[in-house]
Amino acid sequence: MSSIPEDAPPHCPGTNSEDAGKASACAGCPNQQICSSGAAQAPDPDLDAVKERLSSVKYKILVLSGKGGVGKSTITAMIARALALDNSKEVGILDIDICGPSQPRVLGAEDEKVHSSGAGWSPIYVAENLAVMSIGFLLNSADDAVIWRGPKKNGG
């Protein structure tokens, strides 16, 4: 599938380009406004794989806030621990806070490291049925910055 609209000018950079709608070739194109807004970009090809994997998770709870320091990590850990009291349930936490991943500390697992294999990363189990994946597990120390290059940076 091409990322260049049918009615685009000959030197169109394509809808997936950083120059979409902004390049000189885009001047006068009927798609210029929609391309520059990003609305014409093709959907992420990994989206279907993510949807498929998440379809096997019966319940998903998101703990969100636009403000720091309001207790998101504490509430997340408390909900997960409470749910994990039912041994018939498998509970998982995905801590995607790249600025201050605190689940390792909140759950008492700050010395743990993620196990890596050909199949990818394996989460840390803090209980028989409570798994945690956090960027905090990928750091050598709490003061380290996350620096990803190559496939990890690009989603591979």
pLDDT digits (tens, 9 = 90+) for 71-100: 999 999 999 999 999 999 999 999 988 777
Q: What is the pLDDT along the chain (156 residues), one digit of tens a residue?
A: 457 777 777 778 877 787 888 888 888 888 888 787 776 666 777 888 889 989 999 999 999 998 888 999 999 999 999 999 999 999 999 998 877 789 999 999 998 989 888 888 999 999 999 999 998 898 887 777 777 665 554 555
CA angle 44, 59, 76 (to 5 degrees): 95
Under 8 Å between Cβ of 10 and 27 = no
Residue 124 is inside which H or E element, if any?
strand 124-127
CB neighbours of 57 closer than 8 A, spacing ≥ 6? 92
- How much is the CA Rg of the chain, to the nearest whole Å? 21
Q: What is the domain partition of the chain in residue ranges?
A: 1-42, 47-153
Alpha-helix residue ranges (DSSP H) falling in 85-137: 103-106
Give the pLDDT confidence score for residue 42 in this predicted structure: 64
Scanning the structure block, which residue is given the tokens 């690009």?
154
Superfamily of chain region 47-153: P-loop containing nucleotide triphosphate hydrolases (3.40.50.300)
Q: Which candidate, 87, 88, 92, 122, places its Cα nearest to that of 107?
A: 92
